[in-house]
Every structure is written in C-alpha cells, then in structure tokens.
Amino acid sequence: MKFIHTADWHLGKLVHGVYMTENQRAALEQFVSIVEEEKPDAVVIAGDLYDRSVPPTDAVELLDEILFKINVELKTPVVAIAGNHDSAERLSFGSSWYKHSQFYLTGKLTNNFKPVQINGVNFYLVPYAEPGVVRQLVEDDSIHSHQEAMKAMIGKIEENLNPNEPNVLVGHAFVLGGQTSDSERILSVGGSGCVGAELFAPFSYTALGHLHSPDAINHEKVKYSGSLLKYSFSEAKQRKSISIIEMDEKGNFSHRYRSLTPKHDMREIEGHIEELLDPNFYGNEQVDDYLKITLLDEGALLDPINKLRQVYPNVLHLEKKINLTDSKRKQSYIALKSEKKSEIDLFEQFYTDMTTSDFTTEKRDVMTEIIQKVLREEGVR
C-alpha cells in the first residue's frame, strides 16, 4: 500500500503582503503530476490546508479544484484533517458527501475514533484541537495540556486498535522527541504546547503536520512532511518535499522524499548594492525569487528598494546591516545616550553614521549657518 504524506499547504497565505496563491497553484500542479505518476492508494493531508479560518475566495477555489483533480479525476482516495489554521466547522461542510468518492475529511474532532480503512491500512484521523475541547469530548477533567489531550485520544483509539494491522495516525501537533532523545526532558523544556513522540508508539507510522520542515524531528516512525512551500524567510534554508510511504501488511514501510520545486524560491541574499545591481552578479541569479536582501553598504542610499526591484521584482524585505562593533560608532552611540548635544553636534554624528566621508570644517560651517537660520525663522532663538 502506497500513500503520499503532505501537510501545511496554507492556501491563502500572505507573505510580507504578497499572496502566495499563484505560487501555491504551481506547486499543487506539480503535486498533482506526482500523484499521476506515483499512483498512490491514498493522499494524506495532515492539516492547515488553509492559512486562516476564512480564507480568500481564490484559495477556496484552488483547494476545490486540486482536490477534485486528485480525488475525482485521478480517483485517488484522500485523507485530510483540519490544522490549527483551518476553521474546523467551515472545512467540515460537505464532508459527508465526500466519502462517496473516498475523500475522508475530518474538520471537527468527534468522539468517533474509528479508522478510515484504505487497502488494508487503518488511518486514524486526529484533527488539531485545543486541550479544552478534548477535555469535554472525552470527559476527563485532568486534561490541560496538548500532551495530556493527545494521550487521552490515543488511549481511546487503542481501545479498538489491532496492533497486528498497519495503523497510521494522521495528526496536527507540535511533536518533539527523536528516537534517541529523552522525551521527559523535552517535555519539561517544551511546555504545554508540545507532545512527546513516544505517545505515537502504537502506530506503524504517524503522518504529522504543523512544523514546516521535514527534518523537524528525527524519528523512525513519527514524521513531518513539511509544508508545501517556504512560508517565511526563517524557512529559506529548509527543503520542501512530500513523503512517499510504501507499507506492507505488517506496518513495515519504506519512506522517501520527492521534492517540490517552487515557481519562485524564497531566499536571502546579502551584499553591497552596487554589487547586487551588477549584471555580472545577477546574471547567474533567479532574479524573480522572493528575496530578503541585506545591504552591507554603510552610507545613506537613495531609494534602494526601487533600484533593487528593477532587477529583483520580488524583493519582499530589505534591511541594512549596521556594524556596531566599530569602536568610533559604538562610542558615538553611547555618547548620544549620555549627553544633551547641540543641533550641529547631532548632525555631525548623523552625517558620520550615514556617509563614509569626513565632516570637514567647511561642511560644519555651512551646516551651522543653515541651522541658525532655521532656528531664527522659527523664533526659537
């Protein structure tokens, strides 16, 4: 039995003010091609299909279209749960009808812990839920943390679980603890938001969503697929992929990744503006990637964002690195704090910080005159 594990599509996501929909469409079209090629027995989506409870309408249309292609056109069973970004109730609408064509969608957690069976594998669907919701559902007042909630739900599942069959849990949670780590320690560090990986021991495979890197934990049987795309610059160095699992009737499985190539990658580059605008440099670059650019120039720059956008149309974030270890500057910053300075001294400091030139006596004289004129006109002195 072969299934694909994916999660965290975050349709409708806005990154630095830019909708990712076009990029998401391109990635999902690749995904559909992989489904066509791999012909899995199921596609598992472990939560956060949308980025928010009320996604924009084009995200709604995109999800509808992609799931239709996979489930109806390619006749692939789909198993999906709501993540913390989805609205469980809104996502659930219509799910009773989807079962016809083996599209199993669990938005809202219920106390039906029966599995969905596909080709001999039992899929247990555990959508994201707050501990308070689980507390009410299983009627156990001692539940206050995600760890306790997950433990209780897995307890319910175990009541009817046949350990001799291949069992897969599909969940959306912040799971910590590789196979070599001490989960006790991790839980005491991680706090109530985390769930220890050891809870998933009853399952042949645990298909997780929530953390965006497929390398978020290093566990033999408990795995994140990672998100569809990079959704922040902190993910710039993460690989993005989907997982292909082939499982035998005893629950033993092989696991491999297939990477997704984004239409626009999300990257960070760093340099002096002159260098970045030099065709010898950007000639080798994917200039339309989503970029965070860090400028190393020390002086003031005239409208750097627009200059950069002429070469790199998708600059999402621009920042300047100011080296504060330079002793002169360090001193001047400290000085700024401790004394009340005259206008001319403040200007000198500003000029020195913003340019690489010296603030000569001539410059000082010109500026002094201007300042005095302004102050006179304003009637300050």
The residues binding a copy of itself (CB under 8 A) are 54, 57-58, 60-61, 63-64, 68, 71-72, 87, 89-90, 92-94, 96-98, 100-101, 103
Rounded least distance, CB 83 to a copy of itself, Å? 16
| DSSP sequence for 49-73 | SBSSSS--HHHHHHHHHHHIIIIII
Of residues 55 and 214, the one with the C-beta less far from a copy of itself: 55
Helices (H), the chain: 21-38, 57-67, 88-92, 95-98, 131-138, 146-158, 183-190, 273-276, 279-282, 304-311, 327-338, 343-354, 361-377
Distance of closest approach, residue 127 Cβ to a copy of itself, in angstroms = 14
Nearer to a copy of itself, 91 or 217 (CB): 91
Q: Cα angle vertex 69, ends 64, 74, to 5°?
A: 145
How far is Cα 149 from Cα 157, in angstroms, rounded to an integer? 12
Closer residue to a copy of itself, CB minimum distance, 103 or 290: 103
Beta strands in 238-289 (DSSP E): 241-247, 253-259, 266-271
Report the nearest approach of a copy of itself to the CB of residue 304 (Å). 39
Decide: helix, strand or coil at residue 196: strand
Question: What is d(CA 36, CA 24) in angstroms, rounded to the nearest whole number?
Answer: 18
Nearer to a copy of itself, 14 or 186 (CB): 14
Helix axis angle, 21-38 to 57-67, nearest 10°: 10
Beta strands at 205-209 and 18-19: parallel, antiparallel or unpaired? unpaired
Q: Which is nearer to a copy of itself, 125 or 199 (CB)?
A: 125
Identity of the residue, 73 or 184, whose beta carbon is nearer to a copy of itself in the bound complex: 73
**Distances from the Cα of 90 to the Cαs of 82, 173, 284, 355, in angstroms?**
10, 20, 45, 55
DSSP 8-state symbol, 11? B
Residues 168 and 124 sit within 8 Å (Cβ to Cβ): yes
In single-letter form, the type of residue at position 144 comes to H
- Minimum distance, C-beta of residue 68 to a copy of itself, in the bound complex (Å): 5
336/44 Cα distance (integer angstroms): 58
- Which residue lies nearer to a copy of itself by CB, 102 or 372? 102
Cβ at position 379, least distance to a copy of itself in Å:
34
CB of 173 to a copy of itself, least distance (A): 22
Minimum distance between the CB of residue 88 and a copy of itself, rounded to whole angstroms?
8
Closest CB to a copy of itself among residues 87, 332: 87
Find the shortest distance in angstroms from Cβ 21 to a copy of itself. Answer: 13
